[in-house]
């Protein structure tokens, strides 16, 4: 059984960025405050992207400066698409950044308008120009691409090899559109951990096909260093009304805590934060707990 699990909150980035209407900075800070109170030690607070591309993230610099000062014992990091964003994140005081590229050429082009080779070259520049920042590389579409379907694990190992050659040793393998499944998750983590024993591997799962909690569980069973999730299951896809987004943090933490797995996160406080988030944001919430009524519910017969 899983004894200990590191759960990383990414709602303030992957969750918020899927909310159309701009969320006031004050509300974003209230939610981050609730997450810190819940016991989170690592939170992705936003992304340093073009305000034109993702207006929702335009206050990431301001938020970074505030939370770094308020919560010195919490690790905050941000997603960055390029060197420009990386510099802005470091300028805001962040000690860790997550550049993003896709295993799939077609998704990388659609997402960051570059070939994979061009992305690796950009990440090399980031590594060189910002030697002191921790880089945890996001690799998208590892478990499947909306254009190319299932991806090859050999191709993943090859890409990680190229990234290690430019000095990257921490990775987050992303299930971008929720195409992961248990045997694939097991194969991927067993393979990369065997190939690169000293490196850090995290997982980012989407619950699109109702396997978010199961895939996260399988990743933990196979020694993943941390599991990412979003409060309220916030996120999803603008083109998929009703479709689930990220794995719901409170559902995942509830399951792990019930299993006696040490998460360091207080479920009740987290649920309170999820309910507050739902009350102040008109988004796509797929977390189940926020839909369970206070009163016990008797089901007729079974």
Q: Is residue 14 at the binding interface for a copy of itself, with CB under 8 A as the rule?
A: yes
Give the pair of three-digit tokens for residue 114. Answer: 């570059």
The single residue among 11, 15, 17, 83 that binds a copy of itself, judged by CB under 8 A, is: 17
- Within 113-230, residue ranges assigned H as helices are 116-129, 153-165, 182-195, 212-221
Interaction between residue 78 and a copy of itself (CB under 8 A): no
Q: Does 90 bind a copy of itself (CB under 8 A)?
A: no
288 binds a copy of itself (CB under 8 A): yes
Binding piece for a copy of itself, criterion CB under 8 A, among 86-94, 127-135, 176-184, 272-280 = 176-184
**200-204 vs 7-9, strand pairing mode:** unpaired
Closest separation between CB of residue 73 and a copy of itself, Å?
A: 26
Q: How many residues make up the chain in this entry?
A: 302
Residue 227 to residues 4, 54, 209, 216, Cα–Cα distance (Å):
11, 25, 18, 7
| The pair of three-digit structure tokens given for residue 188, joined into one six-digit string | 């991927």
Q: Do 207 and 286 form a contact (C-beta atoms < 8 A)?
A: yes
Query: Which of 237, 259, 261, 297 is labelled catalytic?
Result: 237
Window 216-245: contact mask with a copy of itself (x via CB under 8 A): -x-------------------x-xxxxxx-
* Max CA distance (Å), the chain: 65
Residues in region 183-222 near a copy of itself by CB under 8 A: 183-184, 204, 206-214, 217
Three-state DSSP state, 202 = strand
- Closest Cα to residue 45, out of 77, 15, 17? 77
Active site residue 237: yes
The reply on whether position 279 binds a copy of itself by CB under 8 A is no
**Taking Cα atoms as reference points, which of 144, 143, 14 lies closest to residue 77?**
14
Task: Write down the least CB distance from residue 204 to a copy of itself, Å.
Answer: 6
Interface residues with a copy of itself (CB under 8 A) are 1, 14, 17-18, 47, 49, 53-54, 79, 81, 100, 107, 110-111, 138, 140, 146-147, 174, 176-177, 181-184, 204, 206-214, 217, 237, 239-244, 248, 251, 254-255, 258-260, 287-289, 291-293, 295-302
């Amino acid at each position: 059984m899983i004894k200990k699990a590191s759960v990383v909150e990414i709602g303030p980035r992957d969750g918020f960025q899927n909310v159309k209407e701009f969320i006031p900075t004050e509300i974003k800070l209230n939610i981050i405050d609730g997450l810190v109170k819940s016991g989170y030690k690592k939170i992705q607070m936003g992304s340093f992207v073009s305000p034109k591309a993702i207006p929702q993230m335009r206050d990431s610099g301001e938020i970074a400066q505030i939370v770094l000062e308020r919560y010195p014992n919490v690790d905050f990091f941000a997603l960055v698409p390029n060197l420009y964003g990386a510099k802005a994140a470091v300028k805001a005081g962040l000690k860790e950044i997550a550049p993003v590229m896709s295993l799939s050429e077609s998704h990388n082009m659609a997402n960051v308008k570059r070939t994979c080779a061009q992305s690796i070259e950009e990440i090399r520049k980031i590594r060189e120009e910002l030697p002191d920042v921790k880089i945890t590389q996001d690799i998208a579409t590892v478990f499947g691409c909306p254009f190319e379907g299932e991806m090859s694990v050999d191709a993943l190992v090859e890409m990680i090899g190229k990234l290690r050659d430019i000095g990257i040793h921490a990775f987050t393998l992303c299930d971008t559109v929720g195409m992961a499944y248990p045997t694939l998750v097991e194969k991927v983590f067993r393979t990369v951990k065997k190939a690169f024993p000293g490196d850090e591997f995290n997982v980012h799962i989407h619950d699109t096909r109702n396997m978010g909690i199961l895939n996260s569980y399988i990743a933990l069973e196979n020694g993943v260093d941390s599991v990412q999730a979003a409060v309220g299951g916030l996120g999803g896809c603008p083109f998929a009304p009703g479709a689930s987004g990220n794995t719901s943090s409170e559902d995942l933490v509830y399951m792990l805590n019930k299993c006696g797995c040490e998460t360091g996160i207080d479920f009740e406080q987290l649920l309170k934060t999820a309910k507050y988030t739902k009350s102040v944001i008109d988004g796509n919430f797929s977390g189940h707990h926020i839909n369970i009524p206070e009163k016990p519910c008797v089901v007729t017969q079974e």
